[in-house]
Amino acid sequence: MSDGHTPSGGSARLNTGVAHNARVWNYWIGGKDNYEVDQQVGEHVAGMFPIIRDIARADRDFLGRAVSFLAGEGGVRQYLDIGTGLPTAENTHEIAQRIAPDSRIVYVDNDPIVLVHARTLLTGTREGVTAYIDADVHDPRAIVERAADTLDFTRPVAVMMLGILNFVLDVDKAREIVRRVMAAVPSGSFLVLTHPTFDDELGGAGQIPAMKFWNENATPPITARSGADIAAFFEGLELLEPGLVSCGQWRADPGAAVLVPQYGAVAVKP
């Protein structure tokens, strides 16, 4: 990792007595980087909302299909992955650099346990670059400034925001974050985004009580949004086919497509 320092105050931020999203998500997709409290909260949420494991897997599979498209047909060689989460199999850099070894990836997260794992596990090809920065999604200026040490913002960048804007509770603030990051990248760049929804047509009503329990028992707090609010994140961008859909259905093989209450889309900056 090019940014291998331990952030000041990092140990203070690592609270293993409270369930944390990165670790619970890791538990849901079958990972080992979680604690008993994460497993307990994860099991309770899954009991309230059994489809949550399907959502986690569908979101991960969407990442694979989106990055494969971007690195291949899309010709993208730079990725800014905001809200990385704990490394598992088939991370952004692994997919991109398998297709194009010279790809440059910057991971962004502000969870200290993610930092520790990223530093040791998120290593890429000799031809490319894999870097990690400790920054918060609420501070897009800092993200862009620090990512510029690794990425060339005069060339297209794929901005990855998978399951991260749901932790920005104010919708106007979330839109401003997207606008500021996308304003920093040139024409031909992409926005790749997933976000949970409570829309009935995607089976999202069960998100509401499950998220209420989450917000009372885990961190950070989370929110679902309507498809209309999620679509607004793509203002000024051109959605690629098939548009904003359940992430399990985005360019999935017909037999593999699943309907989950998590929207996903890829859009290009004209």
According to the model, what pLDDT value does residue 183 have? 98
Nearest to 230 by CA among 215, 214, 247, 253: 247
Q: pLDDT by residue (tens digit) across 85-121?
A: 766 667 899 999 999 999 999 999 887 666 666 666 5
Q: pLDDT by residue (tens digit) across 174-217?
A: 999 999 999 999 999 999 999 999 999 999 999 999 999 989 98
According to the model, what pLDDT value does residue 115 have? 67
Mean pLDDT value across residues 206-232: 93
Q: Would you say 2 and 150 are in contact if contact means Cβ atoms under 8 Å apart?
A: yes
Q: pLDDT by residue (tens digit) across 4-34?
A: 322 233 333 445 678 888 888 888 888 887 8
CA 96, 100, 101, 106 torsion: positive or negative? negative
* Mean pLDDT across the chain: 88
For the chain, what is the radius of gyration of the CA atoms? 17
According to the model, what pLDDT value does residue 35 have? 86
According to the model, what pLDDT value does residue 193 have? 98
